[in-house]
Amino acid sequence: MGEVYKPEEIEIKWQRIWEEKGVFRVKEDPDKPKYYVLEMFPYPSGRIHMGHVRNYTIGDVIARYKKMRGFNVLHPMGWDAFGLPAENAALKHGVHPADWTYDNIDYMRRQLRRLGFSYDWSREFATCDHEYYRHEQRFFIEMLERGLAYRKKTLVNWCPSCHTVLANEQVEDGACWRCGTEVVQREMEGWFFRITAYAEELLRDLEKLQGKWPEKVLVMQRNWIGKSEGAEIEFEVDGLPEKITVFTTRPDTLYGVTFVSLSPEHPLAERLAERAGIKEELLAFREKARRARREIEEGLAEKEGLFLEAYAIHPLTGEKVPIYAANFVLMEYGTGAVMAVPAHDQRDFEFARKYGLPIKVVINPEDAELDPETMEAAYEEPGVMVNSGPFTGLPSEEGKRAIVEHLEKIGVGRKKVSYRLRDWGVSRQRYWGCPIPVVYCERCGVVPEKLENLPVKLPLNAQIDEAGRSPLPKLESFLKTECPRCGGPARRETDTFDTFVESSWYFARFACPDAKEPLVSEKVHYWLPVDQYIGGIEHAILHLLYARFFTKVLRDLGYLHLDEPFEKLLTQGMVIKEPYKCPRHGWLYPEEVSESGTCLKEGCGERVIVGRPEKMSKSKCNVVDPDEMIKRYGADTVRLFMLFAAPPERDLEWSDQGIEGAFRFLKRLYHLVSEWSEKIREVEPYSGDGNDLPSELKALRRKTHQTIRKVTQDLEERLHFNTAIAAIMELVNHLEDTLKKASPEAPGFYEVLKETLRAIVLLLSPMTPHICEELWEKLGEKGLVAETEWPEWSEEVAREEEITVVVQVNGKVRDQLRVPAGTPEERVRELALSSSKVKRHLEGKTIRKVVFVPGRLINFVAN
C-alpha cells in the first residue's frame, strides 16, 4: 500500500510554510485587480463551533480560488470582542472580562490557524482594543455634531436579567435575544442614531443589491424599513387650542371617521385625562398597556380603550367625534394618534363593536352595498366612495389623491410617508463595551469629549457587581472628569455602545488596521467594497442594516466613497444534527445510545427517540466539536465534508459516516499520487494535440478538461462547492479506471497521467489546501500550489467526439445510439429506425412527426 496519509503532520508542515513565506499577506497593488473576501467575524465565546468552520471554510475556498485567478485578495479576520457573555463569565468565574476575552481569542485563533484558513493575520484586531474603538468614538462625536446622534427619553425595551436596554431588533417574540427573559417597557433616557434619516436611501439602494444578495434578505430588510405612503391629517380638539395630528394610509376613508384613538403614551392623552379628572385611570390604563405589550403585539390581548371625555372636530364635516386612548395604538409609529374608521379597518371595527361606537360605510365594493348593521368584519379593499360629500362616486384610489389635495388646499393635512423603521438606540447600561465619549457638565450640559482626548478608555480596574450591573456609575476615577468646554467639574457618560456599533464598520478598518487615523482614504479606496461577504442568515436585518447605515454615514462624513459596503452576500445555512432523547433520561449524547438504538444510561435500555435534525446546541447534546474532528481526520477532511454535504445556502446535516467518506476520498487520492509519484516526478504534462494517444488516454484528457471547466464554473458562478467536488471525484474515478485499462507502455501515458493529476490537485486545492500542497510536491512541482495559477481548459480537448442520442417513440425512451458528434438528422433517423427495439414499438403505426434535438435525442411521434 505504501505511504500512509498522515493529515496532522502534513497540515502543520504547510501551515508553517505559508506563515513563514507570508503567502497571504497583502498590500495594495494598483497593477492587480483586488478582491475582498470577508466572513462575519466571530464573537470570542471560547471555542469555535461547526457553524464557524462552515462559514470560514466557504470564505477560504473563495479567497484561495480568487488568488489563483490572479486577484490581489484581502482576506482578514478579527474579533467582535465586546459584549455581555464576557460579563457573565466574570460573574460566574471571577475572571475579568478583558482576560476572559483575550484568552478566548488566543484559543480561537489557534483553532482557526489549525484549519489552515488563508487569513492575512497581520491585519487582525479585536474591537475591544482602544486603538479600534477610539475611532468609533470619533465617528460618534462627528455624528453628534451633525445631529445624527442624539439623546432622548423614550419607552425602551428593558431586559431585567441583563440590566440593559435592547434595540427593537434585539427583541424576539417579546423576549431578550440573548437570554430569553421577557422584556419589559421602561422609560429611559439614552443615545440614538438617526437611522430614520437614511430610511429612504436604505430602502432604495436595496435595488442595487438585487441579484447579488439573497432575495430573502432583501425582502426582510424591505419589510423592516416598512415604508408606507399616506397623509397626515389634523383634527381640532373641541374646546382646546391643541390639535391632534393623525397618520393614515387611507385618506379616502376620511368621511368614515367615527372616533379618534390616541396612544396611552400620547402627551395629549394625559392632558385630556387631567381635564376630565380621570388622570388616575389613564395612568393605570397606560401601565396595563405597557405590561401587556407582548400579548398586544402578538394580537392576543383584547383591544381596550379609555374614553377621554373629549371630542375631536372632523376637518371636513365639522362633526364631533369622541377621543379614546387605545391600547393598540403605538406612540412610536406615525404620530401616535389614529383616525378611526371602523367600517374599513379591522382594528377600529373590533374596537367600535366593543364600545358601541357608530360604524359608517364610506367605501362600497364594486358590486355590492355594505350594511353597517350586518357587517361582520371591516371592508378593507378598494371600492367606490359613498357618503363622502363632494367625493362620493369616486373610485377610492382616486379619492385618496383628491382628498389629500383638498386637505392641503385648506391647510389641515398633507401627503406623508411613514416608516416602520425607528431610530437605533445605542445606549447600553453595560460595562464591557465602548464608552460613549460625552460628559455631563453642570454648566454646559451634554458636551462631547475633545477629539485629542480620545480614546475615552474603558477602565480595566473595575469589577462587575454581584447583580451583574455595570461598575462604571460607581467608579469615581472614571466618573469624575472636567468639562472639555469650560474646564469645570463634569461627570462622564457611563453608558456604553451597543456592540452592533463595532461590527458596523470593522470591514472598512481591515483596509488599514494600524493607521493612526480612522480610515486611510487610499487604502479604503483600493480595497472596498467587500466583494464577497459570507455569514449566517440570523444577521439578515440587525447587522447588515446597521453596516449599510454606517457606510452611508461614513460616506457623508467623508471617510468612505461608497454607498453600499457588501457587493455580494452569501448567507450560509446552519449546521444541524439529529438529537437523541430517552423517555426517562432526556437528551442523550450519541455515545449514550447503543448500536440498536437503546439508552445506555444506568442500564436503562429504553428505546431512544431520534429527533429531526436541528441546530446544534449543548442543551440537546447534539453538538460536534471541531477540535475532535480535526484531531481524528485532519482539517482537510473536515473542510471537504463541510463543502460536499450540501450547497452553502442550505442547512448542512452533520453525518459521522459522511465525514468518513470524505476522509476515505482523501486517503485514496493520497495513495494514488504516492504510488505514481516516482514515475512522473520528472515528466512534463502532456502538451500534444492528442492524435498520437490511444483512445482511453484521449478520453481521460477529455474528462480532465471537462472537469476543469465544470469546477471553474461551479466556483465562479454558483459557489456550489458540492457539485465541484463531485466532479473532481468523478475524475478520480475515471482516472482509476483508466489506470486499470491502459498500459504504461502506451505513448503519452505518463504525460497524460501527469496532466490529470496536476489538474486534480489544483482544482481541489482551495478546498483541501494542505494535502494538495503535499501532493503538489510529490508531483515534483516547484513552488506552492497556493501561489500557482488556476488551470485552464481547452474546449477543443473537452469536446465529445461521440455522443449518445436517445431514441424515443411517443416520448418514451426505447433505445440509445452512439454516434459521432454532429451527425445530421437524416443519418440519426436512419440508424434509429433500424433499431429492432424501435421497430417493435413502431409496428403497425404511422409516423406522424419526428422531433430531432441535435446532440440529444430523436423522438418519433406515431399512432
**Residue list 796-835, contact with RNA (CB under 7 A):** 804, 806, 808, 810-814, 816
Select the span of 430-438, 622-630, 717-725, 753-761 touching RNA (CB under 7 A): 717-725
Kindly state whether residue 515 participates in binding RNA, applying the rule CB under 7 A.
no
What cell numbers appear for 832 in the block? 434509429
Q: Kindly report the backbone phi and psi dihedral angles of residue 113, in degrees, each rounded to the nearest multiple of 5, phi listed first.
A: -65, -40
Kindly state whether residue 336 participates in binding RNA, applying the rule CB under 7 A.
yes
Measured from the CB atom, is 263 or 704 closer to RNA? 263
To RNA, the closest distance from the beta carbon of 704 in angstroms equals 15
Q: Are 761 and 785 in contact (CB under 8 A)?
A: yes
Amino acid at 254: L
Measured from the CB atom, is 69 or 420 closer to RNA? 420
Which residues 413-452 are close enough to bind RNA by CB under 7 A?
A: 418, 420
Q: Positive or negative CA dihedral for 652, 657, 658, 660?
A: positive
To RNA, the closest distance from the beta carbon of 382 in angstroms equals 14
Q: In what order do the strands lie in the sheet with 149-159?
A: 164-166, 149-159, 184-193, 424-425
Q: Are 91 and 137 in contact (CB under 8 A)?
A: no
Collapse the DSSP code of 541 into the 3-class scheme (helix H, G, I; strand E, B; otherwise coil) and give the result: coil
Q: Positive or negative CA dihedral for 286, 288, 294, 298?
A: negative
To RNA, the closest distance from the beta carbon of 487 in angstroms equals 45
Measured from the CB atom, is 92 or 612 closer to RNA? 612
Distance CA 327, CA 304 (A): 6
The residue from 720, 741, 829, 839 that contacts RNA (CB under 7 A) is 720
Q: What is the CA radius of gyration of the chain?
A: 34
Total of chain residues touching RNA, rule CB under 7 A: 89
For the chain, give the number of residues.
Answer: 863
Counting DSSP H helices and E strands in the chain, the numbers are 27, 35
What cell numbers appear for 442 in the block? 453642570
Number of CB atoms found within 10 A of residue 447's CB: 17
Kindly state whether residue 667 participates in binding RNA, applying the rule CB under 7 A.
yes
The residue from 406, 543, 710, 754 that contacts RNA (CB under 7 A) is 710
The residue from 41, 198, 328, 507 that contacts RNA (CB under 7 A) is 328
Measured from the CB atom, is 768 or 808 closer to RNA? 808
Collapse the DSSP code of 758 into the 3-class scheme (helix H, G, I; strand E, B; otherwise coil) and give the result: helix
Instruction: Give the relative orientation of helices 749-764 and 769-778 as an angle to the nearest 10 degrees.
Output: 160
The residue from 469, 585, 653, 674 that contacts RNA (CB under 7 A) is 653
Q: Which of 214, 61, 81 is nearest to 573 (CA)?
A: 214
Location of C-alpha cell 474532528: 629
Distance CA 321, CA 307 (A): 11
The residue from 66, 114, 250, 705 that contacts RNA (CB under 7 A) is 250
To RNA, the closest distance from the beta carbon of 652 in angstroms equals 7
Distance CA 728, CA 80 (A): 37
Kindly state whether residue 733 participates in binding RNA, applying the rule CB under 7 A.
yes
Distance CA 30, CA 21 (A): 22
Distance CA 415, CA 96 (A): 55
Which residues 553-612 are close enough to bind RNA by CB under 7 A?
A: none
Show the binding pattern over residues 340-379: x = contacts RNA (CB under 7 A), - = does not. -----x-x--x-----------------------------
To RNA, the closest distance from the beta carbon of 675 in angstroms equals 12
Measured from the CB atom, is 122 or 804 closer to RNA? 804
To RNA, the closest distance from the beta carbon of 507 in angstroms equals 24
Show the binding pattern over residues 169-188: x = contacts RNA (CB under 7 A), - = does not. ---x----------------
Kindly state whether residue 284 participates in binding RNA, applying the rule CB under 7 A.
no
Measured from the CB atom, is 434 or 645 closer to RNA? 645
To RNA, the closest distance from the beta carbon of 68 in angstroms equals 20
To RNA, the closest distance from the beta carbon of 334 in angstroms equals 4
What cell numbers appear for 372 in the block? 353597517
Measured from the CB atom, is 387 or 723 closer to RNA? 723
| Alpha helical stretches, state H, 510-648 | 521-527, 542-556, 626-633, 635-644
To RNA, the closest distance from the beta carbon of 345 in angstroms equals 6
Show the binding pattern over residues 670-709: x = contacts RNA (CB under 7 A), - = does not. ----------------------------------------
Q: Positive or negative CA dihedral for 630, 532, 792, 741?
A: positive
What cell numbers appear for 849 in the block? 412527426
Kindly state whether residue 327 participates in binding RNA, applying the rule CB under 7 A.
yes
Which residues 386-405 are close enough to bind RNA by CB under 7 A?
A: none
Collapse the DSSP code of 536 into the 3-class scheme (helix H, G, I; strand E, B; otherwise coil) and give the result: strand
The residue from 118, 263, 765, 768 that contacts RNA (CB under 7 A) is 263
Kindly state whether residue 619 participates in binding RNA, applying the rule CB under 7 A.
no
The residue from 34, 485, 523, 668 that contacts RNA (CB under 7 A) is 668
27 marked as part of a ligand binding site: no
Measured from the CB atom, is 162 or 662 closer to RNA? 662
Distance CA 397, CA 251 (A): 10
Measured from the CB atom, is 257 or 439 closer to RNA? 257
To RNA, the closest distance from the beta carbon of 284 in angstroms equals 17
Q: Which of 640, 496, 488 is nearest to 136 (CA)?
A: 496
Q: Which of 166, 767, 646 is nearest to 427 (CA)?
A: 166
To RNA, the closest distance from the beta carbon of 247 in angstroms equals 5
Amino acid at 569: L
Percentage helix, strand, coil for the chain under 3-state DSSP, each rounded to 5 = 40, 20, 35
Element (H, E) at 417: strand 413-419
What cell numbers appear for 831 in the block? 440508424
Which residues 220-239 are close enough to bind RNA by CB under 7 A?
A: 220, 223-224, 226, 228, 230
To RNA, the closest distance from the beta carbon of 595 in angstroms equals 10
Measured from the CB atom, is 474 or 650 closer to RNA? 650
Measured from the CB atom, is 8 or 297 closer to RNA? 297
What cell numbers appear for 607 in the block? 428505546
The residue from 40, 308, 511, 729 that contacts RNA (CB under 7 A) is 729
The residue from 372, 395, 536, 647 that contacts RNA (CB under 7 A) is 647
Measured from the CB atom, is 93 or 849 closer to RNA? 849
Location of C-alpha cell 372616533: 259
To RNA, the closest distance from the beta carbon of 465 in angstroms equals 33
Binding residues for ATP: 618
Binding residues: 618
